[in-house]
Amino acid sequence: MIKKAIDALMKDRPSPSYPILPRIMPGGRSTIPGLYLAGDVAGKPLIKIALNDGYELGLKLSEELKEMPETEIDYDVIVAGAGVAGMAAAVRLHELGHKVMAIDSGQLFQTLRTFTKGKLMLAEPVDMDLKGSIPFEESSIEQTLEWFEKAVADSGVEYKEYTKITDVKQISGGFNVKTERGEFTSRLIVLSTGKSGNPRKAGAPGELEFPEKTAHFLKDPDDFKDKKLLVYGGGDVAAEAAVALSDTNDVTLVTIDEEFIFPMKKNVDAMQAKEKEGKLAIRMNTGLSSIGKENVIIKNLGTGKEEVLPNDFVFEMIGSEVPTGFFKKIGIKMESVWDTARWLLLTAMLVIVYLFYAWKKGFWPFPYYGYGISNLIGILKNPSFWYSLLYTILMTVFGLMAMKRWSRGWTDKYQIYRFGSLIIFQMVSFILIECIFAVFLPGDTWWRAYAVSNPFPLLFDSFYNMSGVSPTDLKWVIVGLAFLMTFVVIPIAVKWHGKRFCTWICGCGGLAETLGDRWRHLSPKGERSVRLEFQGTVMLFWAFISAGVILFIYNGDTASAGLWHGAYSLMADFWMIAVIPVALYPIYGGKIWCRYWCPLAKYMEFLSKLYCRLAITANDKCIQCTQCSKYCQVGIDVMAFAKNEAPFSNKETSCIQCGICITVCPVDVLKFENISYGDT
């Protein structure tokens, strides 16, 4: 039973919201010097963004080429993947006088050619100006291809179609690129192969024997009439194909999913409407067993019962595989892969953060001279003062950097106010508590003022450890403030603001939002990571139970409480707040503590589930670019809600209302809204 529980907890499934992409270094470089990433494979999925990304990369590489020594090499740049971003880079480099060649295993703009006839290509983001000489605006796929092909032809840039690259190796002065049609050398490489790679196959018997009756995309529905067709897949591509074919054919859609979780709501509605009309048969929780010359065999995964269906053609639409094999072969490292360098980084971060925080807490293994905190001279000897000063400087510097990054040219007021609030609260807290209270209040009381900015159960000692506190009246002021914050201010604020405290005020969350911002895309994703959030509930109960025992059994005397206080203080305050999560910033993003262990965050989440009115709502414009899910620091599959036009709040998620998902959405799908909680 225990094993089953662990298996259920750790079980995960791949999600289209979280594609695993190559690790990208500053400037768009891969982990291989001289090899750059562009377009979809670099996390730039939209056509306009990809065009601009390619154009900017072309400018950057042109400057880099000017600094490189001249060598006897065939090309200045070889572009691997003649897609939108790759050709935008190639055209710009060619315009700047560099010798460039683009190579693709298929046709020029191969991915665009797989789109269904008449598909509308959106020119999003609408407020982004298009750069470069390749024209584009909202149009049909046919018109878009016409523009792109003409622009490439007019530019005169060299490209090779139907030429598969089999290997890329570094050589003196550049790279050797091996293809099925010969070898070439290049000073720099642009990899713009996209993230789709090869279409995923079912692996069913007959798949190889009858390739003429199998396809992975639908180009033109008019090519099929009065046919018996099977569409295998449970995503949007399969849904759209099934609907498009159902009016003139006998169509069965088969998916291994027990319910539709990947397609957009409008596609699910369209399929169910066709099913009610008797034009489409849907088989859920069913796999493809085999493909025959005149039939297919499908199998219910629950009952094991097989069914033979007459069949003329099969569309296998079960997604595509990222070409990780090719990336690994040429030495490109992927995101979130545990290699030696990552283990060394984690070890180094743990050692550095531990030593620094241990010094602040007095665990430093080397002696430092005593200090007093009742006068200004004494405070300058206090490690806590210097720790807090550095903490404030880090939050200010990196907070301004994050503000610039997410304010979209200083136009997103929400992000400007949010990062400004974090910086100001940290500054005020430092100046007021470390520089004023620490000087003028007794040494056993000043630090308790942190209960205002770090309410119980975040600051564990808010209500006890009061023996010897002087003057006595100050004790009740401290207890009163702590009680007010935890049981009055926080519950009231939660109704209208959810867990915004975490991203507008809290110093712990503030460091994660500022210093940790550059790694926010590395946050743990997927169903398994969400299930692990139960740890916050454990921490919350531990905090309240320990506080109750210390208060009512040991009369608030932490010295007598022993492990009830010491264990929590050591594990939570030292390791789980300060050392482990900060060390994990470059590994798993900044919100490990806030998401998994913070009892205050879980306390606010429980309150939010009861009566909070704040939610993030979505309209019907989602294009499934994955950006919202990618940059969520608490691992919410935002895209799953957005594509289904579903609101989400703390009723369903651990959302901290940072609003980054709203900011990064290129088509303005998401927004904050106060709604009746029953609507969510």
Structurally, the chain folds into a number of domains equal to 3
Q: Which of the residue ranges 44-48, 495-499, 604-608 would you say has the lowest mean pLDDT?
A: 44-48
- pLDDT at residue 22, as a whole number: 87
How many angstroms separate the CA atoms of 80 and 30, rounded?
Answer: 13
Higher pLDDT, 518 or 42: 518
pLDDT of residue 211: 85
pLDDT digits (tens, 9 = 90+) for 325-341: 888 899 998 887 888 88
- Please indicate, yes or no, if residue 645 is contained in any of the structural domains: no
Summarised one tens digit per residue, pLDDT across range 443-452 is 666 677 777 7
Residue 327: inside a domain: no
Of 170, 195, 220, the last residue of a domain is 195
Amino acid at 223: D
Tell me, what's the pLDDT at 469? 60
Same domain, 49 and 185: yes
Compute the average pLDDT of residues 635-642. Answer: 92
Rounded CA-CA distance 99/79 in Å is: 11
Would you say residue 185 lies in a domain? yes
Domain final position from 144, 177, 195 = 195
**pLDDT above 70: percentage of residues in the chain:** 91
pLDDT value for 195: 64
Residues 380 and 277 in one domain: no
pLDDT for 378 equals: 64
pLDDT > 70? residue 466:
no
Higher-scoring residue by pLDDT: 393, 21: 393
Residue 205 pLDDT > 50: yes
Average pLDDT over residues 643-647: 90
| pLDDT for position 376 | 60
- CB burial of 628-648 (b: ≥16 within 10 Å; e: otherwise) equals bbbbbbbbbbbbbbbbbbebb
**Residue 389 has what pLDDT?**
92
Q: Is 672 contained in some domain?
A: no
Flag whether 180 is in a domain: yes
Flag whether pLDDT at 278 surpasses 70: yes
Same domain as 60, residue 170: yes
Closest CA to 33 of 189, 192, 195: 189
What is the model's pLDDT at position 100? 97
Name the band, by pLDDT with cuts 50, 70 and 90, for residue 127: confident
- Percent pLDDT > 90 in the chain is 57
pLDDT class of 377 with cuts at 50, 70, 90: low
Where helices occur in 127-253 by DSSP H, the ranges are 141-155, 236-246
Distances (CA, A) of 662 to 18, 61, 631: 17, 32, 10
Please check whether residue 242 lies inside any domain of the structure. Answer: yes
484 and 516 share one domain:
yes
What mean pLDDT value characterizes the chain? 87
Do residues 529 and 401 share a domain? yes
Position 386 confidence tier, pLDDT thresholds 50, 70, 90: confident
pLDDT tier for residue 367 given thresholds of 50, 70 and 90: low
pLDDT in tens, 561-592: 778 888 888 888 888 888 999 999 999 999 99
pLDDT classification of 472: cutoffs 50, 70, 90: low
pLDDT at 452: 74
Question: Do 179 and 220 share a domain, yes or no?
Answer: no
Q: How confident is the model at residue 426 (pLDDT cuts 50, 70, 90)?
A: very high
Q: Is the pLDDT of residue 128 over 50?
A: yes
Question: Looking at the structure, do residues 409 and 279 belong to the same domain, yes or no?
Answer: no
Mean pLDDT of 525-532: 90
Residues 440 and 484 in one domain: yes
pTM (two decimals): 0.84
Q: Which helix (H) or strand (E) element contains residue 61?
A: helix 47-67
* Nearest alpha-carbon partner for 134 in 119, 117, 116, 112: 112
Listed range (176-185, 189-198, 230-239, 421-430) with the worst mean pLDDT:
189-198
Three-state secondary-structure class, residue 140: strand
- Please give the residue that has the higher pLDDT: either 10 or 88: 88
Could you tell me if 593 and 568 lie in one domain?
A: yes
Q: Model confidence at 483, in pLDDT bands (50, 70, 90)?
A: confident
pLDDT of residue 1: 46
Cα 357 to its chain centre, rounded Å, is: 29
Distant-in-sequence, close-in-space partners of 479: CB < 8 Å, separation ≥ 6? 462, 463, 466
- Residues 176 and 258 placed together within one structural domain of the fold: no
User: How would residue 558 be classed by pLDDT, with cut points 50, 70 and 90?
Assistant: confident
Contacts 24+ apart (CB under 8 A), 206-212: 206/290, 206/291, 206/292, 207/291, 207/316, 209/291, 210/291, 210/292, 210/293
* Final residue before a domain boundary, out of 559, 586, 613: 613
- How does pLDDT run across 216-248, given as a tens digit for each residue? 889 889 999 999 999 999 988 899 999 999 999
Residues 446 and 545 reside in one and the same domain: yes
pLDDT at 487: 92
**Largest CA-CA distance found in the chain, in angstroms, rounded:** 91
Residue 435 has pLDDT above 50, yes or no: yes
**165 three-state secondary structure:** strand
Residue 273 lies in a domain: yes
User: What is the rounded distance in angstroms from the CA atom of residue 401 to the CA atom of residue 418?
Assistant: 13
Could you tell me the residue range of the domain that residue 410 belongs to? 372-613
Task: Please give the angle made by the CA atoms of 545, 636 and 6, to the nearest 5 degrees.
Answer: 60
Quote the CA–CA distance of 51 and 202 in Å, as a whole number.
Answer: 34
Q: What is the mean pLDDT of residues 652-679?
A: 88
Residue 356 confidence (pLDDT): 87
Does a cis peptide bond (omega within 30 degrees of 0) precede residue 471? Answer: yes
Residue 600 confidence (pLDDT) = 94
680 pLDDT band, cuts 50/70/90, is: very low
Residue 11's pLDDT band (cuts 50, 70, 90) = low
Tokens 């036009």 belong to which residue? 645
- 3-state SS, residue 315: strand
Please report, as a single letter, which amino acid is at residue 138. Answer: E
Q: Encode burial over 318-354: b for 16+ CB neighbours within 10 A, e otherwise.
A: bbbebbeebbeebebbeebeeeeeeeeebeebeeebb
pLDDT at 375: 56
Same-domain pairing of 94 and 238: no
CATH number at 289 reads: 3.50.50.60
Is residue 462 assigned to a domain? yes
DSSP code, position 334: B
